[in-house]
Amino acid sequence: MIPKPQRQDFKVIGYYLGKIIIGLGLTMFLPLILGLALKENNPSLDFLITISITLSVGVLLSAYSHTENDPNWMHGMIIASLAWVVAMLLGAIPLYLSHHWKSYLDACFDAMSGFATTGLTLALDIDHISFAHNLWRHLMMFIGGQGIVIIALSFLIRGAAGAFRIYVGEAREEKILPNVISTSRFIWLVSITYLVLGTVSLAAVALYEGMPPAKAIFHGACVFMAAFDTGGFAPQSQNILYYHSLPFEVVTIAIMLLGAINFKLHHAIWTGDKKEIWCNIETVTLFITIMATFLITAFGLRQSNTYPEAIAFFRKGFYHLISGHTGTGYMTIYARQFINEWGGLALVGVTIARAFGGSSCSTTGGIKTLRIGLIFKGILQDIKRIMLPESAIVTEKFHHIKDIVMEDKHVRSAALITLAYLMLYGFGALVGVCFGYPFLESLFESTSAAANVGLSCGITTVSMPALLKITYIFQMWAGRLEFISVFILVSFVISTLRGK
């Protein structure tokens, strides 16, 4: 039986959770400043209220739970999993106060979708939302893509050992630099550098297409934050279709692919090791799975003759394949066109791509190409063992920043997480079917939620059942954290109630 948690356990969890909440509250000053600068009085008041609540909760929690102890592995996992729930609850407040969400549950749905970089939305009349609230929608994705706890690790938490345990709880196992706090700061350096370059590139395209300068810069920043962090929110209700621009779509494809790459690979490229792109198991697997799923999707679209012209085929077919595989969820068609025009086989191709996702330690969700590559190599190793003499010793290596000898634990871990994702995809689909939605549509939407993608076939609407909204919120949360910290939180709650 799991021992019942002691008072000190709650103090450690509360103290570090309070630090993360303070960090979240500080980021809310950005939309507040924008609102004040643009004289958006009511939106500014919304954020002033939310900042007051958030900072009060963070300060009181960290002060009441003050401790000098570092979190252990259990604490780190619980802090990470709770941080996402609390961020959703607090991040939803300004959304709900804006009256562009029908209920607080709907606002929580979008807050979790934002932080988990999913992109599914229940917002009403996005086209007329304030600049401050629109910035917050995209800023949530920028924060969530890097990781909510990264804020606290970068600026508010000093203990390296405890910080690493919280870092791992957010489904990041790889330290880019020797110190996890330095790693967190490097992630922000990469993200902010790309933010500047990406915003300039997108704004330049928008200006070329005739958009006013101020609006072009704002849209460029918002679209970059959601594209690089593989989210899917956009400043307008038509998503990327709003821009009707091939150059804009090409630039977002490049940004989405950048966001799907491991931050450790970014570090290797930044330090001059460009050959890592071509030999890393993740990038090789990502290229192979993109090509394989695109062939399935392309064959399905050709069968239905949906996009007979090459340029339309690229802008609608290939674009959504990349958008899905990178976990972004940007769309250049309307949601119901997936069902009415694409056909079953093309939907299956995009669904598989979304289920796979991008790289580990990136901003994307899903199973991850590292695990897909390891499982494939594990199968090849077993085939060799069967075909070779029993006395033969079979070893398999894979290259991931460095050469690593593959062990059974690598394949077992990859297979278990893959199985967990498949069960999560199926669970959401089953709930959708229970509410009367067709199976393929339910699986399509469920995979988007659990893999943090955001492509929608039209199920995600304000009118969908509340229980289905809660199901998708759970899927977004569990899928983003990759289960382990969620399982530990559940065990912690059970041991609190029943432990001795």
pLDDT tens digits, one per residue of 306-344: 888 899 999 999 999 999 999 999 999 999 999 999 988
Q: What is the pLDDT of residue 161?
A: 53
Give a three-class secondary structure readout of 431-452.
Answer: HHHHCCCCHHHHHHHHHHHHCC
16 conformational bin, left if phi > 0, alpha if psi -120 to 50, beta if neither: alpha
Q: What is the pLDDT of residue 72?
A: 81
What residues does each domain of the chain span? 1-173
**Position with higher pLDDT, 176 vs 482:** 482
Residue 150 above 80 pLDDT?
no
> In this predicted model, what pLDDT tens digit does every residue of 93-145 receive, in sequence order?
999 999 999 999 999 999 999 999 899 999 999 999 999 999 999 999 988 87
CA dihedral 155, 156, 158, 159 (to 10 degrees): -130
**Position with higher pLDDT, 55 vs 12:** 55
Contact (Cβ atoms closer than 8 angstroms) between residue 359 and residue 173 = no
491 conformational bin, left if phi > 0, alpha if psi -120 to 50, beta if neither: alpha
Summary mean pLDDT of the chain: 88
Q: What is the pLDDT of residue 378?
A: 87
Distance CA(29)–CA(9), nearest Å, equals 32
Q: What is the pLDDT of residue 323?
A: 94
Place of tokens 């304000």: 462
Distance CA(332)–CA(14), nearest Å, equals 43
* Six-digit token string for 310: 């090459």
Contact (Cβ atoms closer than 8 angstroms) between residue 94 and residue 117 = no
Distance CA(47)–CA(134), nearest Å, equals 12
> In this predicted model, what pLDDT tens digit does every residue of 12-52 receive, in sequence order?
889 989 988 998 999 999 999 999 999 999 999 999 999 99
Contact (Cβ atoms closer than 8 angstroms) between residue 130 and residue 35 = yes
Q: What is the pLDDT of residue 179?
A: 64
Q: What is the pLDDT of residue 170?
A: 61
Q: What is the pLDDT of residue 173?
A: 63
> In this predicted model, what pLDDT tens digit does every residue of 352-396 receive, in sequence order?
999 998 888 777 888 999 899 999 988 888 888 888 777 677 777
Residue 200 above 70 pLDDT?
yes
> In this predicted model, what pLDDT tens digit does every residue of 157-191 receive, in sequence order?
555 555 666 666 565 666 566 666 677 777 778 88
Q: What is the pLDDT averaged over residues 445-470? A: 94
> In this predicted model, what pLDDT tens digit does every residue of 405-432 receive, in sequence order?
888 888 888 899 999 999 999 999 999 9
Q: What is the pLDDT of residue 155?
A: 54
User: Which of 75-89, 98-112, 272-286, 469-483 shows the lowest mean pLDDT across its residues?
Assistant: 272-286
Residue 1 above 60 pLDDT?
no
Contact (Cβ atoms closer than 8 angstroms) between residue 495 and residue 3 = yes
Contact (Cβ atoms closer than 8 angstroms) between residue 337 and residue 383 = no
Percent of the chain with pLDDT strictly greater than 90:
56
Give a three-class secondary structure readout of the chain.
Answer: CCCCCCHHHHHHHHHHHHHHHHHHHHHCHHHHHHHHHCCCHHHHHHHHHHHHHHHHHHHHHHHHCCCCCCCCHHHHHHHHHHHHHHHHHHHHHHHHHCCCCCCHHHHHHHHHHHHCCCCCCCCCCHHHCCHHHHHHHHHHHHHHHHCHHHHHHHHCCCCHHHHHHHHHHCCCCCCCCCCHHHHHHHHHHHHHHHHHHHHHHHHHHHHHCCCCHHHHHHHHHHHHHHHHCCCCCCCCCCHHHHHCCHHHHHHHHHHHHHHCCCHHHHHHHHCCCCCHHHHCHHHHHHHHHHHHHHHHHHHHHHHHCCCCCHHHHHHHHHHHHHHHHCCCCCCCCCCCHHHHHHCHHHHHHHHHHHHHCCCCCCCCCCCCHHHHHHHHHHHHHHHHHHHCCCCCCCCCEEEECEEEECCHHHHHHHHHHHHHHHHHHHHHHHHHHHCCCCHHHHHHHHHHHHCCCCCCCCCCCCCCCHHHHHHHHHHHHHHHHCCHHHHHHHHHHHHHHHCC
Q: Which residues contact 454 (CB under 8 A, 6 or more apart)?
A: 113, 118, 119, 120, 231, 232, 233, 327, 328, 329, 330, 448
Q: What is the pLDDT of residue 384?
A: 80
Q: What is the pLDDT of residue 330?
A: 94
**Facing residues of 404 across strands?**
398
Distance CA(341)–CA(326), nearest Å, equals 23
Burial of 218 (C-beta count, 10 Å sphere; 0-12/13-18/19+) = buried
